[in-house]
Amino acid sequence: MGSTSKNSKIIQATREKVYNAFTDKEALEYWLAPYNMTGKIHDFDLKVGGGYEMSLFYLNNEISGKTLGNEDRFSTKFVVLNPYEKIVQTINFTSDKNEFAEEMIMEVFLEEVGSNATKVTIVFKNIPAGIDPKDNEAGTAQSLEKLTRYVEKNK
């Protein structure tokens, strides 16, 4: 069984606004990729049992991705979509490398912490052996910073 990581951040926006950023294709493309990457969603089906396929591309073409070249490609499946409270999805990397073969689980919790603030907590479970949990936490922290800018800019 893989490792676990956890990140939390308070964002000055309603739970509805934050939830919508987790369930909107264009929003995810903007904020989900860490600073040194860009994102592209290929397919998107917002329903339990649905999900999306996404590629993250390293801006530095000399960095090897999990899939091919500078690409990390993965597919997700929505397991729980509880509006404005919780999202659970599985993540499977497209890779011929065994160290990325495990199915990872991402849980998102949204907690109201004021009239216009939301505590976002993201927990990754069963992180594949090829991903250092500290690197996963660092990338998630960057994504949460970008999420903050996105929802606070689009009020």
Count, residues in the chain: 155
What Å distances lie between residue 152 and 18, 37, 55, 103, 145, CA to CA? 9, 21, 25, 32, 11
Closest CA to 4 of 144, 136, 151: 136
For 98-126, b where at least 16 C-beta lie within 10 A, e where not — what string? Answer: eebebebbbbbbbeeeeeeebbbebbbbe
How would you write the pLDDT of the chain (155 residues) with one tens digit per residue? 579 999 999 999 999 999 999 999 999 999 998 888 889 999 999 999 999 999 988 777 666 667 666 778 899 999 999 999 999 999 999 888 898 889 999 999 999 998 899 999 999 999 999 999 999 999 999 999 999 999 988 76
120 near 18, Cβ under 8 Å? Answer: yes
Token pair in block for residue 55: 């590629």
